[in-house]
Amino acid sequence: MCRLIGYLGNSIQLDDLLYKPEHSLCHQSYNSLELKSGFVCADGFGVGWYDEAGKPFIYRNTVPFWNDPNLKELSQYVQSDCTVGYTRLAGIGEPLDISNCQPFRDGKLLFVHNGDISNFQQTLYRPIRDRLGDYTYHSIKGLTDSEHIFALFVEMRQSAFDSTLLSALLSTLETLTDLAQKYDTSFSANIIVSDGQALAAVRYAYGTEAPSLYWACDHVTHPTGVIVASEPLSNQNWTAFPEQSTLFVESKSLIPTISLLERCA
């Protein structure tokens, strides 16, 4: 399982999330407290952020998080009001290739996923692709279940005129659940997705247990930022996501809304 982080709020330096906290994303990459499989997330990493004009950027590498001095320098320079990050523990048989590293990007969307589809190549690889139009089908560059889930999300977002981040995310989970039932498999999907103006996150699983996910904000009624992470970055003010739940927050209010999903595994 990978480790994720997402932030929406007042502009901060990237290293306020990636390096400075006592249990930062970098620290989680080699000393995770709630990793269910493996010991370290050493198979690459990535970070995505938005500039002042709302344009998304990504930086990815296949080396371990702690072995990249360039990101440490970059994170002390770049500031953003919306950031997502990820450190990778590759699935069995998945190559160490930059195309398999997150975040994934499409237009203004940035997306990270933690979890897996059981026996992906033999179960939902083809059924997911069969649900995609030409654009999303050809946009897939790697082999991971994560990128196929992202492609399905993009398809859901484009297929409905009034689609929002949250509604597209829920449609994606519903489709995955239907497919998992049909092809007798299980999956877990902790996801953080943003368009720079809003952030949606989910802790969800079908037929298995979802990985850990937490959220925090500095003030309940007047927050300056909301953080979502696989593990708390500190020992204060963190709340665990219930199983099968979502968080949605917009930059104009920064007040998160937590919802339990009606459809549970």
Q: Could you tell me the CATH number of the domain that includes residue 200? A: 3.60.20.10
Report yes or no on 134 lying in a domain: no
Dmax (CA) for the chain in angstroms is: 48
Catalytic positions, please?
Answer: 2
Residue 219 covered by a domain:
yes
The model carries a pTM of 0.96
Contact predicate 146/152, CB 8 Å? no
Structural domain range at position 251: 3-114+189-260
Domain total in the chain: 1
Please report whether residue 163 resides in a domain: no
Question: Does residue 151 fall inside a structural domain?
Answer: no
Does residue 175 form part of some domain?
no
Query: How confident is the prediction along the chain (265 residues), in pLDDT tens digits per residue?
Result: 799 999 999 999 999 999 999 999 999 999 999 998 778 999 999 999 999 999 999 999 999 999 999 999 999 999 999 999 999 998 777 788 999 999 999 999 999 999 999 999 999 999 999 999 999 999 999 999 999 999 999 999 998 878 899 999 999 999 999 999 999 999 999 999 999 999 999 999 999 999 999 999 987 777 899 999 999 999 878 999 999 999 999 999 999 999 999 754 4
Q: What would the two tokens of residue 190 be?
A: 């902790």
Find residue 257's DSSP bridge partners: 248
C-alpha distance from residue 130 to each of 45, 102, 161, 193, 240 (Å): 29, 23, 21, 23, 35
Amino acid at 189: A
Q: Is residue 225 domain-resident?
A: yes
